[in-house]
Each structure stands twice: as C-alpha cells, then as structure tokens.
Amino acid sequence: MRVRVPDYFDRFHCLAGACPHSCCVGWEVVVDEETARQYAVVPGPLGERLRSELKVDEEGDFCFPLYGGRCPFLDEENLCEIHRCLGQEATSLTCQEHPRFAEEYGPFREISLSASCPAANVLLLESREPLKFLERETSEPEEAGDPWLVGLLPLRERMLLILQDRTRPLKERLKEILTLSMDAQPLLDEDRGEELAVMVRTWRMEERKVPAGAGVFPAALRVLASLEVLEPDWPELLRRSENAPAAEVPEELLERITAYFLFRYVLKTVNDGDLVSWTLLCLLCVLVVQRTAAVCGVEEALRRVSAEIEHSAENLEALREAFGWMPELNAAAFLRELGT
C-alpha cells in the first residue's frame, strides 16, 4: 500500500510534559473497546482506578471524563500515568494516534499531523518553502478505491500547483482554486467523476460575474462563535478579530497552511461528491487564520482554528451546511472576499 505524508512528518516528536497545550487537557479521552477490555484485567491499584474511571459517554463510547478539564491519569508533571506504568501500548488508540489524521482510500493511505498540536504546528510553520508530500510503500495489501479518485487525485494536484505558483498574489491563487472546484462540481453532480482527470488537464481560468455584496467577514467569525466551543475564550478571540486589521502574515506561510488543508480535505469528496464545500472549508480555515492572527499571532491562530474546527465533527458538518444555505458564506461571498 502507498502511504502519503507531509514532508516534515518524520521529524515529529511529542513534547509530552513540556507541551503548552496538552491533548490530555480540555478533550474527553475516548477509549476504544479493545483497550477497555484490557483495562478489565489490569491488576493492582492502577487497574482498580482504570475500571472506576472508565465511563460510557452520550455517544456510547468508553471514555475517561475530565476533572477540572484534565484526564484523570494526567499527573502533576503533565505525563500520562498509564503510559508511564504500563507502556504506550496500554493507552487508547486515540492517545496513540494523536495528532495523526489517517485517511484510508483503498489503494493508499494519507496521514497528516493536526495543526492543533503545538509540535506539529511548529514543523508546518518553521519553513517558508512550498509544502511537499512524500510517498512510500508498505507491505500492506491494497484494496479497491473509489472510481472518482482517478479524477480527484489530479484535481488536487492541479490545486496544489496553482497554490504554489508564487509569481501571483495568494488571493488570486485561492480564487483560481475555488473556481476550479466550482467548474468541476457539475461532473460530480452528474456522476461523471471519472471525467475529472481530462477536465483538469484542459481547464483554464475564466472570470465569472459575481453578484455584488460583502465578503465572508464578519459573518464567518460570528458563525464560528456560535458553534461548539473547545476553549472558552474562543468566541471572545473571534469577536476581537472582527475589528482588527488583517495581519501581515507572510504569504509563504499562508500558502503552506492552505496546502495542509487541501491535503486533508479535498479527497474527502469521494464520500459525498461535494467538492465545492470541501474547498470552501479549506479556504475558510486559511482566511480565519489570517484574520485571527492579528489578535494572537499566526501560530496560535492556526492552532485554535485547527482545534475548534478539525476536531469537531459537528462543527465541520455545520460549516459545510452553512456554505449551502447562508448567502454570507456561499461561493460568491468567498469570491468577493478574494477580490473579484
């Protein structure tokens, strides 16, 4: 099986107790069923604590509820007591895999590192070179992939080529990426996704008339503030960002952030055929990072956007629905925001 990862993937190391934003704080710790069964036979006082702390949440998942916002097994040094006493393999799959996002597409797998993780965040933003993605082979057998992948892969590659053409302003490149997704969407709507590869090879940007109106701000910030909140000061940060002047974030960094989101989300179109909404999600995240960076800096802005959006299935779904019914967040509003 082929596996694709960002070019900084192998340099990632967890900061453990030195992490300024521990993933064991603020988030319910979900425990997979196999690990929960293992906890049933752990001997001694630690085993008794594991079994007493293990609960079932509203979704029916095993979890460790938080105390004061902290996992009950996070010690005073911000280290995991389970990991320290029983080894990493005794922690839940959620803990072992974080901050990795793994997507299975049949003949290949793609793994990214969540930008909500401070260590991964630094790796993404420490360079101003175009972000590249590495491919390697594993001994795992391949499975059949969705036929649309034959077209979606070259489409995403074209998006990345457009994005990394540094002879043009970034907003112009983002506008072209959105326009490409809009022109490709009818093929998916008509179940002709296999034709995307040909369309991508011949596609040329053409200007389109966009109805007059506002861009996505400040509406986008207000919508985000109305969604599920991870860190309590998030709505206030968004409110302060409404009137703050746009931060002078280097375009090279915004380009790398955009590449991160395109890699994460464009191929998810195989699940529902809604290429435009996945593209709008990527652009929204980048634009909100730029906007909130004026208040908290680009590193913290990216961490917060990733945490509040990428780690909430409810927020992801709510935003993608809003792109369809809110005039302030539809494709035309994004085109206006990008300067058409």
Q: Tell whether 81 and 173 lie within a shared domain.
A: no
Q: How does pLDDT run across 222-234, given as a tens digit for each residue?
A: 999 999 998 999 9
Sheet with 2-6, side-by-side order of all strands? 100-104, 108-113, 2-6, 133-137
Domain extent for 63: 24-97
Segment 16-67, tens digit of pLDDT:
878 888 888 887 788 989 999 999 989 999 989 999 999 888 888 899 988 8
Strands 29-31 and 62-64, bridge-based pairing: antiparallel
- pLDDT, tens digit, for every residue of 179-193? 999 999 999 999 998
Would residue 168 count as lying in a domain? Answer: yes
- In this structure, the answer to whether residues 258 and 329 fall within a common structural domain is yes
Furthest-apart CA pair in the chain: how many Å? 70
d(C-alpha 19, C-alpha 118), whole Å: 7
Beta strands 108-113 and 2-6 are parallel
Q: Is 47 helix (H, G, I), strand (E, B) or coil?
A: helix
Let me know if residue 41 belongs to a domain. Answer: yes
Exposed / middle / buried, residue 109 (Cβ in 10 Å: 0-12, 13-18, 19+): middle
Distance set, CA 158 to CA 95, 152, 234 (Å): 35, 10, 34
Q: Is residue 303 part of a domain?
A: yes
Last-in-domain residue among 97, 117, 135 = 97
Classify residue 11: in a domain, yes or no: no
Place of tokens 């933003």: 125
Q: Are strands 2-6 and 133-137 parallel, antiparallel or unpaired?
A: antiparallel
pTM over 0.85: yes
Residue 18, in any domain of the structure: no
